Amino acid sequence: MNSSVEIVEYKGKKILFSDYSGLGGAEFTQVVQRHYEQHRAMFDNAGETFLFLTDVTNTFADRETMKLFKKSITQNRPFIRKSAVVGVTGIQQVLLKSINVFSSVDTRLFKTKEEALDWLAE
């Protein structure tokens, strides 16, 4: 199971990638909190905005996890130029749309990581 934060290069662009794939419940919440702290440290030191890719394939988010995602999106939006999300299905789409209400960041959903990377690198 992955749960990393890393900067990947794709078509000459640096993209901040957060991988939550396969997580659920309390573990998912803990990883979201850890990623939030890592993102804040990166943003505070970078002095620039980021392209952002999130993979939520095969995840299950409870209320606490969603609360942390809302906090993260709200507080990090000044540092994100545009954002892509992979792995959103069913009810997750409704939840993501509700979270995006709090964000002015251009966020799009994609079926594959490659499609998301292509859009971010445009």
Q: What is the pLDDT of residues 11-62, one digit of tens each?
A: 999 999 999 999 998 999 999 999 989 888 888 887 788 999 999 999 888 8
pLDDT of residue 18: 93
Q: Is residue 122 part of a domain?
A: no
Long-range pairs for 19-24: beta carbons < 8 A, 24 or more residues apart: 19/55, 20/54, 20/55, 20/56, 20/59, 21/55, 21/56, 21/57, 21/58, 21/59, 21/87, 22/57, 22/58, 22/59, 23/59, 23/60, 24/59, 24/60, 24/61
Residue 1: per-residue pLDDT? 47
In the chain, the number of structural domains is 1
pLDDT band, very low/low/confident/very high, at 88 (cuts 50, 70, 90): confident
120 occurs within a structural domain: no
pLDDT at 75: 84
Domain CATH code at residue 21? 3.30.750.24
CA angle 1, 103, 121 (to 5 degrees): 65
In a domain, 66, yes or no: yes
Query: Which of 2-6, 20-24, 71-75, 115-119 tops mean pLDDT?
Result: 115-119
Domain membership of residue 39 (yes or no) is yes
Q: Does the residue 119 lie in any domain?
A: no
Query: Domain range for residue 40?
Result: 5-113
**9 within a domain of the structure (yes/no):** yes
- Average pLDDT estimate for 73-102: 76
Domain assignment of residue 13, yes or no? yes
pTM: 0.85
Per-residue pLDDT tens over the stretch 103-113? 667 788 899 99
Query: Does residue 121 belong to any structural domain of this protein?
Result: no
* Single-letter amino acid, residue 87: G
Q: Tell which wins on pLDDT, 82 or 3.
A: 82
